Amino acid sequence: MKKVLIILGAVFGAFVLLLAGIFFVVFRLTADLPSTATRFFAAVRANDMVAAQAELSQQFKASTNAEALRHFVDESALGNVVDTDWSSFNITGKRGELKGVVISAEGGRIPLTMVFVDENDTWKIYSISKPSAGLSESESGEVAMPDLAQRTALVKRSMPPVPM
């Protein structure tokens, strides 16, 4: 009986250590994403665009100049972010993603998605996207394609009659 309890205790202890290791690795990997985002928003709020750009990936910097970044931040009301509430963390290989809301000093909540890439073992912001506010016809901005019967009727109406 004593041997069984010792074996069960050892198995349970190994299981607890395994879970603790998994949680540590997952927390370590995902904690860096919000930290990068926090440093970026703090730099933007302090109007330190050099520090903000230090959090961006090489690809982001190559495709977006400082003026365009400043314009996006100003137009998106992201220049006054005081807090974040991330609802989704995702890391796949050397790519990470945060989804959630950022909270402005005025209390506004802005939905945001940030994509990160691992550059030299440091997470850098690859892209920032914010859905448009206000009214829109569709989520993607695309017009729905008519069904086959509607397309056929449109073609027939647009073609001149064929003489027989």
Q: What is the pLDDT of residues 49-100, one digit of tens each?
A: 889 999 999 999 988 888 888 888 888 888 889 999 999 888 888 999 999 9
The rounded mean pLDDT for the chain is 82
53: closest CA among 129, 108, 128, 120?
128
Q: What is the pTM of this model?
A: 0.65
Q: Which is more confident, 61 or 30?
A: 61
Neighbours of 98 (CB within 10 A): 23
With H, G, I as helix, E, B as strand and everything else as coil, classify residue 142.
coil
Neighbours of 118 (CB within 10 A): 17
CA distance linking residue 55 with residue 38, whole number of Å: 10
CA distances to 27, 30, 74, 120, 137 from 94, rounded to whole Å, are 16, 12, 30, 10, 35
CA distance linking residue 50 with residue 47, whole number of Å: 9
- Tokens matching residue 99: 């989804």
Pairing assessment for the beta strands 95-104 and 122-129 based on DSSP bridges: unpaired
Q: What is the pLDDT of residues 99-122, one digit of tens each?
A: 999 998 888 899 999 999 999 889
Domains and CATH numbers, the chain: 2-136 (3.10.450.50)
116: closest CA among 46, 30, 57, 51?
57
52-90 in b/e burial notation, b at 16+ Cβ within 10 A?
bbebbbeebeeebeeeebeeebeebebbebeebebeebe
